[in-house]
Amino acid sequence: MGSIASNAFQLCGKQAEREEERYLRANDRPFNLSYTYTNNAITTSKYNIFTFLPLNLFEQFGRLANTYFLFLLLLQLIPQISSLSWFTTAVPLILVLSITAVKDASDDINRHRSDKQVNNRRVDVLIDGELRSERWMNVQVGDIIKLENNQFVTADLLLLSSSEPLNLVYVETAELDGETNLKVKQALTVTGELGDRVDALAGFNGEVRCEPPNNRLDKFKGTMTLSGQAYSLDNDKVLLRGCTLRNTEWCFGLVIFGGPDTKLMQNSGKTTLKRTSIDHLMNVLVLSIFGFLAFMCTVMAIGNAIWEVREGFVFTPFLPREPGIDAALSSFLSFWSYVIVLNTVVPISLYVSVEIIRLGNSFYIDWDRKMYYPKSDTPAQARTTTLNEELGQIKYIFSDKTGTLTQNVMTFNKCSINGKSYGELFDFAGQRVEITEKTEKVDFRNELADPKFTFHDHSLVETVKGGNLEAQAFFRLLALCHTVMPEEKKEGELYYQAQSPDEGALVTAARNFGFVFRSRTPETITVFEMGKKVVYELLAVLDFNNVRKRMSVIVRSPEGKLTLFCKGADTIIFERLHPSCNELTAATTRHLNEYAGDGLRTLALAYKDIDKSYMEDWKQRHHEASTAMDGREEMLDELYEEMEKDLMLLGATAVEDKLQDGVPQTIEQLAKADIKIWVLTGDKQETAENIGYSCNMLREEMKKIFIVAANTPEGVKEELQKARREMCPEAADEPSVVRARAGLFWSHKTESVQDEKVEGDYGLVINGHSLAFALEKDLQLELLRTACMCQTVICCRVTPLQKAQVVQLVKKYKQVITLAIGDGANDVSMIKAAHIGVGISGQEGMQAVLSSDFSFAQFRYLQRLLLVHGRWSYLRMCKFLQYFFYKNFIFTFVHFWYAFFCGFSAQTVYDEWFITLYNLLYTALPILGLSLFDQDVNDRWSFQYPQLYAPGQLNLYFNKKAFVRCLMHSAYSSLILFFIPWAAMYDTVRDDGKDISDYQSFALLAQTSLLVVVNLQLCLDTYYWTAVNQFFVWGSLAAYFAITFTIYSNGMFLIFTSSFPFIGTARNSLNQPNVWLTIFLSTLLCILPVVAFRFILIQLRPTINDKVRHKVRKEALPAPAPRIPRRRISTRRSGYAFSHSQGFGELVTSRRFLLKRPLRSRPALFATTDSPLAQNQPQHYRTITEEQEETQSR
């Protein structure tokens, strides 16, 4: 009932009062329903079965053109005005409304299906003292629900209890912030004692007061009152909708926010109706055409009044006027008659043709096998059919990182131990060998090894097994220095709960090389070293934080030896090494530069032997510092600094945060097309930077990469201005903002910031807290100016709402077309805010796909979507519009010239049936063939020359200037097509001496010449001929002559005398040589100037398109050279544990962290074992050009 009520309120447009505080009681539905909180159902659809017809018709008649044609239809029903039958407008109007309604209904049915799929998911809800399986949509605020491992979190929950020690749960928040590392949440102790006892949970009657629904993902404030005692609630005790429960057998939670009130949905942004720039331009042009039509009709009405006064009385004896109609009234009626006759300047078939073209080009995306991903059986999908041509005009791309550019897979790739690098393979000549799927893998012969871990360098295994002390110490450090928690479901089946994916990869590597981290207690760590069980005493954990960028552990071996093991960012570790390590440091630095050049995430490893007496003294001081009330952090930092000195270097690790296949090549291609890419990610700065280097977005050859990380508005402004002045010293202090008006009736005010020229390439990296200040009104333009000067922009630690704000900022002030691409729920608001939203169906659920306009499985398909499908769609749509306006203006202008010879009587030049069939049949199919099949160059040449994309960004192919040129061309052609047939037919006789200069013969000659000219003009505009194009062009002409001879025949006249008055005209006129000569002369005079003008233009001012098409004719596309991976020489290396959180070490050493619960079997972390994430296999890919070459060779 709550769902029905909330939907009813939405339908009626009523807005609930703003909620100031949420107050709820557990297990008390009547109490909670009294506050009319929304339930857990979500609705993204627009219509239902009752509202579809009225709402859809209301929306369609909101289009100016549809309203105009309805008005025209009403005019045609007035006999005193209309010289055309009503069906000439009614049939096309009904067809357009029907096709659009069917498309809108289809889109909304898909939205209903996706809503139904989500709302009908099942979850266990505690009702009347028992757990019942209920649909998500029926869950109410105040309900207690049970979640199990790998389930999505149903709503925003207050965690009550869990199966894990200390009431912990592990959740994956990829859909919220893009991070795949596990986050830890912890319930209150008082609720944790409820456990999974249903009777205790059913008796729980705690009351919660908390903040109202909002979009802040990282904050939550509230209190829970139980038995008169108040308990503070914060973000660590809340599970948000969109998270996934991991490595936790079960947990119970109290629903706080449901459905649209959840933080996930609050961050989703508003769904806006997206229209292309060509749509907006068409609205302006249609309005201009209305004005032009009114002008022509006014001229005709004035002409009619003058003619009636001067000449009309001569005709009254045989054309008497109706009673009461004088010259003034005749002029007024003539105005409306010409509105009907000249209405073809705004043809209704334009809109239905546009919809058909967009639908056809959408099918090409759906059917493209080169955008199909076989591993997940995912084809590309055009989820919206109205935005295709906009894909050919993209200037800015806003991309998520995790799951969009990367695979969410971490692999231990290479390492440097004691000055020697491992992980690469070399042949006998010393040349590096590329590792492929066929390369032999290392057989670890270790019962506890992870079968999904792969490594190819056999020499490292031999080194470890050969007893090399440095190599064994290296992997011993990896097995001991971490905060990973192990889970052993069965004997030998180990699962690691790593808060950082880097740590998981490193501990797994140690496990496979013979140093297996098996278990831990607050005081000990148990490791199996080369098959032998060794228990180390854990004396201290020197925890990680963002300033230290390292972590250390101090352990005592069974022999009593004290050792500190440390890992961290290489720059930090090298500062703390013993002088005796200088030579080893130099060798390791060379290896680190190579690893960073390959885009790997690196860490340095070091150790130190500790004296027992010193350790006792240090431990005592450590205890005093950790219990101090004031200055605790500073005192601990001093002690950590004191301990972590004079370290001995062991080596370095290199972990690969695996990019998706083809990402660097795709970014390189898009950059050549002058498309700017901004990365907006929820990850930490160093993670994002590292991926930026891996993708070649950030490059060493860039002049400078600016880091904006200030914590105050003043600091952010200073850093942005400093960066801007360094890039462009002569730039003005204040931005150049151009204000203008645009849109229908010029009612929309626009502000645009002009681009400023910069010499060289720069990069910008800005943190989330700095971005929050930069997005404030007084700093917006400063951020935009500085960012737009840079080739690459990376925004780190941004919230979903900030992503949308960045997109809206660029949309507002740059007046360019934007595209947002992401794969998680945290990307939804960004996808909705951009002109084009692209969803990647990856590891993070389907929220992004459901909100997107286009979807596919891999980022690399984006270049095909834009450079091929987008460019072709834009080119086809522009050609279609130019040709469509051209053919209809010619058609209409001939009426205009004829008015001066028919006494402005609104008589039509052409036969009524020709007028009806001109746009619906004779000229419809040829232009559809051009708009569906034409391409200037094929897809391979489109990839070879990404610069072909530039004209779309500048909107060169169809704009207001192109429209005016089209108008002038049409006026010239219409003069030829009227006056040449008129002069040729004037006082002309047949070859047998009979007169043929009658109205019907002239009409036939004029309309035949018109049809031949517009079809030849289409042939000139066609770049790519197919059998379908040929059939449509010549078939349309054949259909015209067949229909003409049929409707002008004696039989049709005898059956329908009033409908087919042109009896015998075709056979009497078209058998005369002078008629065909007139058609030929008219065609020649219309087409020859166009050919000459285009020839001269190509010779003097060839476009990039002309140059490439010339090259295509001259030479074959060169065979693609195999891409050789280039090693980037880098002086920059990644820091430590990018996704790691401060303070996790304290939990590891907690006295209560191993409280035992009954062990129960749990499902595996990854249910789908063939997914890339589960397999952890190295992924190999070919370049786009290699893939195409292989396809052609077949």
* Numbers of helices and strands, H then E, in the chain: 44, 37
Q: Please check whether residue 723 is in contact with residue 265, taking contact to mean a CB–CB distance below 8 angstroms.
A: no
Contact 140, 27 (CB under 8 A): no
**Please, which residues have CB within 8 angstroms of residue 909's CB and are 6 or more apart in sequence?**
894, 895, 898, 978, 1002, 1003, 1006, 1007
Tell me 1160's DSSP state.
-
Q: What are phi and psi of 114, to 5 degrees?
A: -65, -40
Residue 756 CA, distance from chain mean position: 27
Is 400 designated active site? yes
Of 368, 400, 657, 853, the active-site residue reads 400
Q: Is 748 exposed, middle or buried (0-12, 13-18, 19+ CB in 10 A)?
A: exposed
3-state secondary structure of 251: strand
- Asked if 651 and 577 count as a contact pair (C-beta separation under 8 A), the reply is no
| Burial class, 1075, CB count within 10 angstroms (exposed 0-12 / middle 13-18 / buried 19+) | buried
For residues 7, 12, 18, 23, the Cα torsion angle rounded to the nearest 10 degrees is -40
C-alpha distances out from residue 677 to 34, 136, 662, 694, Å: 49, 38, 16, 14
Which residues have CB under 8 Å from 49's CB, separation 6+?
none
Residue 511 CA to residue 450 CA, distance in Å, equals 7
Cα separation, 996 vs 1072, in Å, equals 10
Number of CB atoms found within 10 A of residue 692's CB: 25
Strands (E), 1122-1193: none
DSSP state of 921: I
DSSP percent split of the chain into helix, strand, coil, nearest 5:
45, 20, 35
Q: Are 203 and 126 in contact, with CB atoms under 8 Å apart? A: no
Cα–Cα distance between 370 and 1186 in angstroms, integer? 13
Pairing of strands 762-766, 792-795: parallel
- Convert 644-661 into a string of H (helix), E (strand) and C (coil): CCCEEEEEEEEEEEEECC
Contact in structure between 796 and 806 (CB atoms under 8 Å): no
Backbone angles phi, psi at 14, to 5 degrees: -85, 140
Which residue in this structure is represented by tokens 């040589």?
A: 1073
CA distance 1141 to 1145: 9
Question: Which residue numbers are catalytic?
Answer: 400
